[in-house]
């Protein structure tokens, strides 16, 4: 097997099952590629070589002994550094957690381990998942494998870069306002945010509890669905976890048929201010869906215009409380010369340990929750959130899924928006409404923008716990474009030499 | 006139009580850790109650049920929809730097508890209205080492034990209680006593003030007689016994009245009760409103208790303590005053258990409210915490009735049992404490007593048997109380020809 890193998870699974390749060989091939190329991409914060090989050996042993193993056993994966893995450092891209080794596995990691999926290491991210470019990582910025001068999206930019650079066929990200979908879009891969409560948050270091949701990245829709199926399911350790069967996303991804489906274009997400190349590719996919037999019409989600303002009150409010525990008292960074009071240690630790964007959001959130401002900001934002959700519920009375471009632009240059938070926040314009409503959404690659030859993503949104629908539409579009391009979009990635 | 009487003449006190009750659930409120008291520090912890990054809470259903039962027993309405809220503030005893509590959507609200207080005009009922009953988690326990005050300021270092962090805590807040006048301290004490018995009857908490499973904060303000606006209140913490509740209020009434007399304003502040002096000392100023930035806890789903379930809980509530006491007082033939003394001591259940084993109500009361309450107050613990059981007392009482123990010997047995020397029978055997009724053993003592009291002996010989007590008493004294008094009397009379 010449290049194991070019295979999809499904292809690897079939080779592993046949026995033509071992899990250790697959793991080593990916570790070698990371070794030689991640210097320039910088997608990993921590590569767990020993742990990964040990896991792979276990899978090989189980296969040899004819023990029942899951279909993804032996397939490697990159894990966003916001989910705990027992014994492996978790930093959330922050200096305040440097050196912390969690003593427990997140539920997602537990599920990955029991499926025999090999965890290669922890990927870079915007500090505490706050950002859209991974430049807010306290360690280093990650580069977009399509063009190393561009951002890989964020906050799960390490995961999107790792998958698009063929360091792993699968990755886990988390999405609070678009942190899976936007990085997937700008790196030309598939990323899905499940329904809120579909995947357990136990062990996911919280940014905004009512919005955070872990989800899969892959280079194909089917791979993504297979990983989704492993991650999802009810967890008694997470009160907000949904106690319902996991939607059959794998069958939906294989269906490749949208005939008769009613698809709504979100009217408010597009038009002036959106990159022409993005809109061109989006309009082509609308035509493509029509040609495949879908009924497409425009639908208004009027309150989506307020999604950005709503999100930037609710998420920072929750963050201001969630991030309080990083006070130097129990773990991670502690600034203390031995003569400081507890209060001074807390202040100095937080001053030194948190980056600029994290501090900005803690301050916004603290303000919005303060008495005298609560009603005008936090409470008001919750009301608008309900209206946005209501708009979407109403829309789903008319259509099966909604679509929009995933992000208004393609990947921008590193450093371009670091001093302009508003420009950075606008990258999430289209991904915020589904996040606020807690409904599932996916980004699939639909081509390259004419101006910069960088990937464009299509966002597909479905009603709560109908995650299968996003896979059905995503799988159909991917199949059709694959025929047109004679391969996946990611196969056209020019960077890193050996990509093709 | 005493300072207190002067104060009451000029001012009307307004009371308020905030009581924290640790529930006796097996596991903590939001995780599966044990709640057992007294374990090695930080051994009963997990990622959730340590607030480790990524951990999540899951609400303990028994904690919610217990809170609702407390609310029902306090005549509260139970919310159809209730939520947990985060109370945000930084302190090292809080693993998450926020406390999961309840804010504007508590489980129970608007109830009352009636208490009886002895006044100059006889026993009077007072109604204490309940504002709310809500559920929250306890914090860790800080121990400050070094420094003069034992408080965080000035300490060399502080140790935190998170075993207590996450234990379910129910907060019961009264509405302001006006119109109690000079009886304010007694009303407060009666309220906490009644509440303790009610909680014990519900079997939801150990309600041990000295272990901290029942903690009380006392709010107090004074209003000049005739004025319609209430004065500024202080909140006194560290009130750790029933007696302290009474003392703290009395002392705070005196302190505030002296301040007001001098024309000073009362500072809105937290004060700490000091057991040794019986007074309160100034703590944190509360003049600036606290900023807790409460908001609904997004990690927990709202609680919407089923109506039928609440009805069932209501139906299954135990008999209310006051009604039960009235019934038992009648059954046991106790006066109201006797019953109230027993209740204040927390002895109703102990006496009931002793009676259930065959002891007469009068004897059971004598042992617990007489003998044992003295031991308890000397040891500074509650009756229920003494290392002696109703079974032990029933056994001792029956030995006394059989003439195998004198009262004096019985007291020695009780002391030995309290000292951990074993059960009554073991103690009697070990210490050889049985009653002496053997003639040959008694005769020498009787002869000696007669010789020592020739006048009395002569009178008895003349037929004045009523003075026999003098000789019997002398014999009992020389035998150290181990003689059977009836037998001695018989032998004395026989020896003296009667």
Residue A500 has pLDDT above 50, yes or no: no
* Residue A360 host element (H or E): helix A356-369
Answer whether residue A87 is part of any domain. yes
**Residue A160: which domain range?**
4-304+386-492
Both B470 and B403 in one domain: the answer is no
Answer whether residue B117 is part of any domain. yes
A329 to chain B, any CB pair closer than 8 A? The answer is yes
Both B374 and B449 in one domain: the answer is no
A363 to chain B, any CB pair closer than 8 A? The answer is no
| Contact (Cβ atoms closer than 8 angstroms) between residue A428 and residue A308 | yes
Answer whether residue A486 is part of any domain. yes
Considering its fold, how many domains does chain B have in total? 3
- pLDDT digits (tens), chain B, 498 positions: 789 999 999 999 999 999 999 999 999 999 999 999 889 999 999 999 999 999 999 999 999 999 999 999 999 999 999 999 999 999 999 999 999 999 999 999 999 999 989 888 888 999 999 999 999 999 999 998 877 666 677 778 889 999 999 999 999 999 999 999 999 999 999 999 999 999 999 999 999 887 888 999 999 999 999 888 889 999 999 898 888 999 999 999 999 999 999 999 999 999 999 988 989 998 877 666 679 999 999 999 999 999 999 999 999 999 988 889 999 999 999 998 899 889 888 899 999 999 999 999 999 999 999 999 999 988 888 888 899 999 999 999 998 888 888 888 899 899 999 998 999 989 888 887 777 666 777 788 888 888 888 888 888 888 888 888 888 888 888 877 777 788 888 888 888 877
Helix (H, G, I), strand (E, B) or coil at A460: strand
Nearest-by-CA chain A residue for B58: A239
Instruction: Give me the residues of A, 238-257, that contact B with CB < 8 A.
Output: 238-240
| Burial classification of residue A406, based on how many CB atoms lie within 10 Å of its CB (0-12 exposed, 13-18 middle, 19 or more buried) | buried
Nearest-by-CA chain B residue for A128: B53
Q: How far is CA A338 from CA A237, A341, A347, B142, in A?
A: 38, 9, 14, 19
Q: What is the CA radius of gyration of chain A?
A: 21
Mutating which of A203, A214, A329, A377 best tests the B interface, going by the most B Cβ atoms within 10 A?
A329
Answer whether residue A327 is part of any domain. no
- Are A371 and B289 within 8 A, CB to CB? yes
Count Cβ neighbours within 10 Å for each residue of A71-110 and write b for 16 or more, e otherwise: bbbbbbbbbbbbbbbeebbbbbbbbbbeebebebbbbbbb
Listed residue (A111, A432, A155) closest to A246, CA to CA: A111
Calculate mean pLDDT across residues A87-105.
97
Tell me the C-alpha distance between B483 and B437, whole Å: 6
Structure tokens at A174: 């988390």
Both B287 and B340 in one domain: the answer is no
Nearest-CB residue to A324 (from B88, B153, B300): B88
- A308-360: pLDDT as tens digits: 999 999 999 999 999 999 999 999 999 999 888 889 999 999 999 999 999 99
- DSSP string for B15-61: EEEEEEEE---SB-SSSS-B--TTPPTT-S--TTTTT-TT------H
Distance from CA of A444 to the nearest CA of B (A): 29
Contacts with A202 from chain B: Cβ below 8 Å: 54-56
Nearest-CB residue to B299 (from A92, A240, A324): A240
- A357-407: pLDDT as tens digits: 999 999 999 999 999 999 999 999 999 999 999 999 999 999 999 999 999
Contacts with A370 from chain B: Cβ below 8 Å: 291, 293
A232: domain CATH number? 3.90.1300.10
A179 is catalytic: yes
Q: Where does A228-278 show beta strands of DSSP type E?
A: 262-266
Q: Quickly tell me which residue has 């927390």 as its tokens.
A: B346
Calculate mean pLDDT across residues A272-281.
94
Provide the CB-side half-sphere exposure for A147 (13 A, CA).
Answer: 16
Answer whether residue A333 is part of any domain. no
Q: What confidence tier does A496 reach under pLDDT thresholds 50, 70, 90?
A: low
Answer whether residue A368 is part of any domain. no
Distance from CA of A25 to the nearest CA of B (A): 33
> Looking at A155, A164, A195, A320, which residue is catalytic?
A155
Answer whether residue B419 is part of any domain. yes
pLDDT over 90, % of chain A: 93
Q: Quickly tell me which residue has 């990085």 as its tokens.
A: A183
Answer whether residue B316 is part of any domain. no
Answer whether residue B469 is part of any domain. yes
| Burial classification of residue B158, based on how many CB atoms lie within 10 Å of its CB (0-12 exposed, 13-18 middle, 19 or more buried) | middle
Answer whether residue B327 is part of any domain. no
Contacts with B293 from chain A: Cβ below 8 Å: 320-321, 366, 369-371, 374
At A464 the pLDDT is 98
Answer whether residue B323 is part of any domain. no
Say what the ipTM of the complex is.
0.95
Both B254 and B377 in one domain: the answer is no
Alpha carbon A24 to its chain centroid, in Å, reads 27
Considering its fold, how many domains does chain A have in total? 1
Mutating which of A369, A375, A377, A382 best tests the B interface, going by the most B Cβ atoms within 10 A?
A369
Both B154 and B279 in one domain: the answer is yes
Count Cβ neighbours within 10 Å for each residue of A408-441 and write b for 16 or more, e otherwise: bbbbbebebbbeeeeebbbbbbbbbbbbbbbbbb
Answer whether residue A227 is part of any domain. yes
A380 to chain B, any CB pair closer than 8 A? The answer is no
At A499 the pLDDT is 42
A155 is catalytic: yes
Tell me the C-alpha distance between A334 and A330, whole Å: 9
Q: pTM score, two decimals?
A: 0.89
Distance from CA of A129 to the nearest CA of B (A): 13
Q: Quickly tell me which residue has 């306890």 as its tokens.
A: B138
Q: Where does A352-440 show beta strands of DSSP type E?
A: 401-405
A110-119, A212-221, B421-430, B472-481: least confidently modelled range = B472-481
B84 to chain A, any CB pair closer than 8 A? The answer is no
| Contact (Cβ atoms closer than 8 angstroms) between residue B28 and residue B50 | no
Both B258 and B338 in one domain: the answer is no
**Residue B449: which domain range?**
439-495
Residue A175 has pLDDT above 80, yes or no: yes
Contacts with A104 from chain B: Cβ below 8 Å: 47, 52, 55
Q: How many residues does chain A have?
A: 500
Both B171 and B29 in one domain: the answer is yes
Structure tokens at A83: 């989910």
Indicate the pairing of strand B234-239 with strand B214-224.
antiparallel
- A133-148: pLDDT as tens digits: 999 999 999 999 999 9
Residue A10 has pLDDT above 50, yes or no: yes
Helix (H, G, I), strand (E, B) or coil at B329: helix
Task: Please write down the long-range contacts of A280-284, taking CB distance under 8 Å and 24 or more positions apart.
Answer: A280/A449, A280/A450, A281/A405, A281/A446, A281/A447, A281/A448, A281/A449, A281/A456, A281/A458, A282/A404, A282/A405, A282/A446, A282/A456, A282/A458, A284/A446, A284/A447
Q: What confidence tier does A422 reach under pLDDT thresholds 50, 70, 90?
A: confident
**Cβ atoms < 10 Å from Cβ of B125:** 10
Which residue among B279, B310, B341 closes a domain? Answer: B310
Instruction: Give me the residues of B, 148-187, that contact A with CB < 8 A.
Output: 152-153, 158, 160
**Residue B324, phi then psi, degrees to nearest 5:** -60, -40
Answer whether residue B318 is part of any domain. no
Contacts with A330 from chain B: Cβ below 8 Å: 50-51, 95
A14 is catalytic: no
Listed residue (A298, A275, A285, A277) closest to A453, CA to CA: A277
A366 to chain B, any CB pair closer than 8 A? The answer is yes
Structure tokens at A166: 């063929």
- Are A329 and B92 within 8 A, CB to CB? yes
Both B247 and B160 in one domain: the answer is yes
Contacts with B301 from chain A: Cβ below 8 Å: 239-240
Answer whether residue B422 is part of any domain. yes
Alpha carbon A21 to its chain centroid, in Å, reads 29
Answer whether residue A317 is part of any domain. no
Q: What confidence tier does A234 reach under pLDDT thresholds 50, 70, 90?
A: very high
* Residue A227 host element (H or E): helix A221-231
Q: How many residues does chain B have?
A: 498
């Amino acid at each position: 097997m010449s290049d194991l890193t070019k295979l999809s998870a499904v292809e690897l699974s079939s080779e592993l099952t046949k026995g033509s390749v071992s899990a250790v060989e697959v793991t080593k091939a990916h570790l070698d590629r990371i070794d030689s190329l991640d210097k320039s991409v910088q997608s990993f914060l921590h590569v767990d070589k020993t742990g990964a090989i040990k896991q792979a050996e276990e899978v090989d042993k189980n296969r040899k002994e004819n023990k029942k193993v899951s279909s993804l056993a032996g397939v490697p994966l990159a894990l966003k550094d916001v989910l705990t893995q027992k014994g492996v450092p978790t930093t959330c891209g922050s200096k305040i957690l440097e050196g912390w080794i969690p003593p427990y596995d997140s539920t997602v990691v537990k599920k990955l381990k029991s499926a025999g999926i090999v965890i290669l290491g922890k990927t870079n991210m915007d500090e505490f998942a706050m950002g859209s470019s991974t430049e807010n990582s306290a360690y280093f910025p990650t580069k977009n494998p399509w063009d190393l001068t561009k951002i890989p999206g964020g906050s799960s930019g390490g995961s999107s870069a790792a998958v698009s650079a063929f360091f792993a066929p699968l990755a886990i990200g988390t999405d609070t306002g678009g942190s899976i979908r936007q990085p997937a879009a700008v790196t030309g891969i598939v990323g899905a945010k499940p329904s809120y409560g579909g995947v357990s948050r136990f062990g996911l270091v919280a940014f905004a509890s009512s919005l955070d949701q872990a989800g899969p990245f892959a280079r194909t829709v089917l791979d993504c669905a297979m990983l989704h199926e492993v991650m999802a399911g009810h967890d008694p350790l997470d009160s907000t976890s949904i106690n319902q069967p996991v939607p059959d996303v794998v069958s939906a991804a294989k269906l490749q048929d949208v005939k008769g489906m009613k698809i709504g274009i979100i009217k408010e997400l597009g038009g002036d201010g959106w990159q022409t190349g993005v809109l061109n590719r989006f309009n082509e996919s609308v035509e493509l869906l029509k040609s495949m037999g879908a009924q497409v019409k425009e639908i208004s989600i009027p309150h989506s215009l307020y999604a950005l303002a709503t999100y930037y009150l609710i998420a920072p409010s929750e963050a201001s409380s969630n991030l309080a525990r990083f006070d130097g008292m129990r773990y991670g960074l502690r600034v203390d010369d031995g003569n400081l009071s507890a209060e001074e240690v807390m202040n100095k630790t937080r001053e030194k340990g948190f980056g600029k964007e994290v501090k900005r959001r803690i301050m916004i959130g603290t303000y919005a929750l303060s008495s005298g401002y609560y009603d005008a900001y936090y409470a008001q934002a919750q009301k608008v959130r309900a209206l946005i959700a209501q708009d979407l519920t109403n829309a789903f009375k008319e259509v099966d899924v909604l679509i929009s471009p995933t992000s208004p632009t393609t990947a921008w240059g590193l450093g371009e928006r670091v001093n302009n938070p508003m420009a950075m926040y606008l990258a999430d314009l289209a991904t915020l409404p589904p996040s606020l409503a807690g409904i599932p959404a996916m980004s699939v690659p639909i081509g390259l923008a004419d101006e910069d030859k960088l990937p464009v993503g299509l966002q597909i949104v479905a009603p709560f716990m109908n995650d299968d629908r996003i896979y059905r539409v995503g799988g159909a579009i991917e199949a059709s474009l694959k025929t047109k391009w004679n391969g996946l979009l990611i196969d056209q990635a020019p960077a890193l030499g050996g990509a093709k | 006139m005493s300072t207190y009487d002067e104060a009451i003449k000029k001012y009307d006190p307004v009371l308020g009580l905030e009581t924290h009750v640790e529930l006796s659930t097996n596991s903590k409120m939001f995780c599966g850790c044990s709640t057992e008291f007294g374990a090695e520090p930080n051994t009963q912890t997990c990622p959730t109650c340590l607030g480790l990054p990524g951990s999540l809470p899951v609400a303990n259903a028994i904690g919610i049920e217990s809170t609702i039962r407390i609310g029902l027993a306090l005549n509260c309405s139970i919310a159809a929809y209730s939520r947990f809220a985060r109370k945000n503030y930084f302190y090292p005893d809080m693993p998450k730097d926020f406390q999961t509590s309840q804010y504007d959507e508590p489980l129970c609200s608007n109830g009352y508890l009636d208490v009886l207080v002895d006044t100059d005009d006889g026993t009077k009922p007072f109604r204490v209205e309940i504002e709310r009953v809500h559920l929250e988690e306890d914090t860790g326990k800080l121990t400050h080492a070094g420094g003069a005050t034992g408080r965080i300021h000035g300490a060399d270092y502080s140790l935190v034990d998170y075993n207590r962090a996450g234990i379910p805590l129910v907060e019961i807040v009264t509405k302001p209680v006006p119109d109690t006048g000079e009886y304010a301290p007694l009303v407060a004490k009666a309220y906490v006593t009644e509440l303790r018995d009610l909680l014990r009857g519900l079997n939801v908490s150990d309600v041990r003030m000295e272990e901290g499973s029942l903690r009380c904060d006392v709010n107090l303000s004074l209003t000049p007689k005739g004025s319609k606006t209430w004065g500024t209140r202080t909140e006194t913490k560290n009130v750790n016994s029933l007696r302290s509740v009474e003392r703290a209020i009395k002392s705070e009434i005196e302190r505030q009245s002296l301040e007001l007399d001098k024309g000073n304003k009362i500072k809105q502040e937290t004060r700490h009760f000091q057991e040794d002096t019986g007074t309160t000392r100034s703590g944190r100023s509360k003049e600036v409103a606290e900023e807790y930035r409460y908001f609904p806890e997004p990690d927990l789903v709202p609680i919407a208790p089923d109506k039928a379930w609440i009805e069932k809980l209501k139906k299954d509530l135990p008999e209310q303590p006051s009604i039960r006491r009235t019934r038992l007082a009648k059954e046991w033939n106790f006066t109201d005053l006797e019953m109230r003394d027993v209740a204040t001591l927390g002895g109703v259940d102990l006496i009931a258990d002793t009676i259930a084993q065959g002891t007469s109500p009068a004897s059971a009361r004598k042992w617990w409210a007489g003998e044992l309450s003295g031991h308890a107050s000397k040891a500074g613990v509650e009756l229920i915490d003494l290392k002696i059981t109703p079974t032990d007392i029933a056994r001792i009482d029956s030995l006394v009735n059989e003439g195998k123990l004198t009262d004096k010997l019985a007291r020695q047995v009780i002391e030995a049992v309290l000292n951990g020397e074993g059960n009554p029978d073991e103690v009697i055997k070990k210490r050889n404490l049985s009653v002496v009724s053997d003639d040959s053993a008694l005769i020498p003592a009787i002869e000696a007593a007669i010789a020592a009291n020739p006048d009395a002996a002569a009178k008895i010989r003349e037929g004045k048997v009523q003075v026999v007590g003098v000789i019997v008493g002398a014999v009992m004294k020389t035998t150290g109380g181990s003689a059977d008094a009836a037998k001695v009397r018989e032998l004395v009379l026989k020896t003296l020809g009667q």
